[in-house]
Amino acid sequence: MQCNIVTYVQQAAQRGDDRIKFFYHKDNIVILLADGAGGFGDGGKAADFFIEQSYYHITNLQKLNNDILENILRKIDRDLHDNGHGETTSIIAIINAETIFGASVGDSHCYLFNKEFVIHATSLQYRKPLLGSGKITAISFGPFHIDNKVVIASDGLFDYTTINNIRETLTYDMENIGQQLLSLVELPSRKLQDDFSVIVYKI
């Protein structure tokens, strides 16, 4: 089965706090996204810590499920709090063939833009406390069936445009999809109101 993945990051300032990563682990595609909180110390360090520790924990596991992903977030939350590296949103998403599941905290989001309907996979997540507070409520999502595209992004996308605009933009070729989504949230000056990070998966 063929698939495509596109990642795109554009920082609003010289030093931004958004991070994204994807990698393959056994039969899975693992997607990680973090949006470091600038008002809580060094958000960029918190986002980096989440990416590094998630990769470490996941690649040392033989099995992945919702409970395990929630436990990974809780473990990273405690370690991040103890190390005093700030706070961040976080999403761990696991794609296996035509299925996605994961866990998250904060106000970054995962949406499935299926052919007939849209699913807000992270709709039940807690916006606060953030990862690094030492007291998160990690909420898992899925598994959901994928038959078209998945969009995982920070609030730099979802807070400044509509789901309908995103859905229409997803009709563009995957090669240019990142830039097209960015254009939805750019000001007339082409500046951004917030850091922008997105990963698009096409089945």
> Could you tell me which of 28, 25, 127, 136 has the C-alpha nearest to residue 80?
136
Q: Is the pLDDT of residue 1 over 80?
A: no
pLDDT of residue 42: 86
pLDDT tens for residues 13-50? 767 899 999 999 999 999 999 999 975 558 999 999 99
Rounded distance between C-alpha atoms, residue 150 and residue 144, angstroms: 11
Question: 120: pLDDT confidence band, cut at 50, 70 and 90?
Answer: very high
pLDDT tens for residues 136-145? 999 999 999 9
Q: Is 109 or 14 the better-scoring residue by pLDDT? A: 109
Percentage of the chain surpassing pLDDT 90? Answer: 90
Question: 3: pLDDT confidence band, cut at 50, 70 and 90?
Answer: low
pLDDT tens for residues 173-202? 999 999 999 999 999 999 999 999 999 999
Rounded distance between C-alpha atoms, residue 189 and residue 19, angstroms: 24
Highest mean pLDDT, choosing among 1-5, 12-16, 170-174: 170-174
Q: Is the pLDDT of residue 154 over 60?
A: yes
Tell me what the mean pLDDT of segment 67-84 comes to: 97
Tell me what the mean pLDDT of segment 144-152 comes to: 97
| Global confidence as pTM | 0.95
pLDDT of residue 97: 85
- Domains in the chain (CATH in brackets) are 4-202 (3.60.40.10)
SS (H, E, C) the chain: CCCEEEEEEECCCCCCCEEEEEEEECCEEEEEEEEECCCCCCHHHHHHHHHHHHHHHHHCCCCCCHHHHHHHHHHHHHHHHHHCCCCECEEEEEEECCEEEEEEECCCEEEEECCCCEEECCCCCCCCCCECCCCCCCEEEEEEECCCEEEEECHHHHCCCCHHHHHHHCCCCHHHHHHHHHHCCCCCCCCCCCCEEEEEEEC
Q: Is the pLDDT of residue 2 over 80?
A: no
